[in-house]
């Protein structure tokens, strides 16, 4: 009797131990709850935990920018990272990367296209040779001079957010939004006040054939460079002039090696929030919605950020007595003179440049007229 009881006790202990062991190993049910590997586009997360309600798998995205910490693009990526982390309870983290971490602007664009990074802030000027229609942002006096109206066009335009987006997607780049970093100004040592002042100047441009055309019309020669090489080129006078928003002229110290800044209102700087197309298409519906909704919310945020930075940039240049810079504001008559040279380039672009979609041009022109005339 006693022997039987002992055997029973040993058996019970064995059954209990097995139960405890299975409970400790039991990951099968959890996997079903979190959606497993498949819901994460096939990526190993290294963890089964997600957001507090299990909606998002743990993952990390890399967000490369063309600017340094403190500048508009980098601060945009940092703000996007904060919002994503907060909305997903820390399940998704985003690493903002500054210019240079992964090469030049052209290298970064290629990296996004190959899926080496998930997100990038990209200036259309660096893929102008690939996505011909993206060159539309290089036309002078085409978008409204007022950055607020330009931001409205960039946010609302169907020609840009649907038609141009599709053109970029043929090259594995999905632009989720277009936004301005503010009005661009020209810097030089000669003081540009009329188109003829450009004659003989060597202008720095990005990788866009149309930028060449715009400056060629004024009589300048052009040279493509990454902005990281521009300070030295201006200092050594291998390049004579460049264009950028005021915050960037100040933070890259271009005003130190240039005598004048012309407030020309010829164009607003445009940047795009982009994602690798395949990567984005593989996201879950909840992830896509999270990204799109955050990008949409940030249109107003980035507009205020560039405004603040451009105002501070101008003030810093004016107060930099060690590096005095003459600031020339073009009069309405002077602007009309520039327009008379720049506007024929719009038609040349529409009708002559290979690979340009004239319908996209016409549609965007109509949308601009509608918004500017409101």
**Residues in contact with ligand 6CS by the rule CB under 6 A:** 66-67, 105, 123, 181, 206, 227, 244-245, 248, 269
CB 227 to ligand 6CS: min, Å:
4
Angle at 275 between CA 225 and CA 88, to 5 degrees: 130
Determine the Cα–Cα distance for residues 122 and 60; give it in Å rounded to an integer.
20
Q: How far is the CB of 99 from ligand 6CS (least distance, A)?
A: 7
Q: Which of 105, 139, 138, 115 is nearest to 41 (CA)?
A: 115
Cβ proximity to ligand 6CS: between 35 and 228 the closer is 228
User: Shortest CA distance to 176 belongs to which of 74, 292, 286, 285?
Assistant: 292
Output the smallest distance, CB 317 to ligand 6CS, in A.
Answer: 15
| CA dist., res. 241 & res. 338, Å (int) | 17
Pairwise CA distance, residues 170 & 166, whole Å: 7
To ligand 6CS, the closest distance from the beta carbon of 269 in angstroms equals: 5
CB of 237 to ligand 6CS, least distance (A): 18
Burial of 105 (0-12, 13-18, 19+ CB in 10 A): buried
Answer for the pair 135, 353: CB distance below 8 angstroms, yes or no: yes
Residue 172 or residue 206: which is nearer to ligand 6CS going by CB? 206
* Nearer to ligand 6CS among residue 225 and residue 330 (C-beta): 225
Minimum distance of ligand 6CS from residue 66's CB (angstroms):
4
Token pair listed for 135: 């060159």
220 neighbors 202 (Cβ within 8 angstroms) = yes
Distance, in Å, from the CA atom of 370 to the CA atom of 170, rounded to the nearest integer, reads 29
Rank residues 233 and 372 by Cβ distance to ligand 6CS and give the closer one. 233
In terms of CB distance, is 91 or 121 closer to ligand 6CS? Answer: 121
Q: Which is nearer to ligand 6CS, 51 or 224 (CB)?
A: 224
The C-alpha angle 136, 182, 222, rounded to 5 degrees, equals: 50
* CA distance linking residue 344 with residue 331, whole number of Å: 21
CB of 155 or CB of 244, closer to ligand 6CS:
244
Taking the CB of residue 172, how many other CB atoms lie within 10 A of it?
A: 18
Find the shortest distance in angstroms from Cβ 309 to ligand 6CS. Answer: 10
């Amino acid at each position: 009797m006693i022997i039987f009881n002992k055997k029973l006790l040993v058996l019970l202990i064995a059954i209990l131990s097995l139960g405890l062991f299975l409970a400790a190993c039991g990951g099968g049910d959890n996997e079903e709850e979190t959606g497993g590997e498949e819901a994460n586009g096939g990526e190993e997360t290294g963890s089964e935990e997600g957001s507090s309600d299990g909606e998002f798998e743990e993952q990390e995205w890399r967000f490369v920018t063309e600017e340094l910490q403190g500048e508009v693009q980098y601060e945009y990526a940092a703000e996007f990272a904060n919002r994503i982390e907060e909305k997903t309870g820390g399940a998704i983290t985003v690493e903002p990367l500054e210019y240079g971490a992964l090469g030049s602007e052209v290298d970064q664009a290629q990296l996004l296209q190959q899926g080496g990074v998930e997100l990038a802030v990209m200036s259309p000027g660096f893929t102008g040779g690939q996505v011909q229609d993206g060159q539309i942002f290089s036309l002078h006096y085409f978008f409204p001079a007022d950055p607020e109206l330009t931001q409205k066009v960039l946010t609302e335009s169907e020609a840009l957010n649907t038609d141009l987006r599709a053109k970029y997607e043929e090259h594995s780049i999905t632009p989720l939004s277009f936004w301005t970093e503010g009005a661009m100004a020209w810097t030089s040592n000669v003081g540009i006040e009329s188109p003829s002042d450009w004659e003989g100047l060597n202008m720095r441009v990005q990788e866009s054939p149309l930028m060449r055309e715009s400056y060629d019309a004024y009589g300048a020669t052009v040279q493509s460079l990454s902005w990281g090489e521009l300070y030295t080129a201006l200092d050594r006078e291998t390049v004579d002039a460049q264009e950028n928003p005021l915050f960037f002229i100040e933070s890259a110290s271009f005003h130190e090696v240039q005598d004048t800044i012309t407030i020309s209102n010829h164009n607003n700087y445009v940047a795009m929030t982009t994602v690798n197309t395949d990567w984005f298409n593989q996201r879950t519906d909840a992830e896509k919605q999270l990204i799109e909704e955050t990008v949409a919310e940030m249109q107003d945020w980035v507009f205020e950020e560039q405004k603040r930075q451009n105002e501070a940039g101008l003030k810093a240049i004016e107060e930099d007595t060690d590096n005095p810079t003459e600031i020339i504001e073009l009069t309405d008559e002077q602007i009309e003179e520039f327009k008379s040279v720049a506007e024929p380039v719009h038609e040349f672009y529409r009708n002559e440049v290979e690979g340009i979609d004239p319908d996209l041009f016409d549609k965007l022109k109509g949308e601009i007229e509608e918004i500017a005339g409101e």
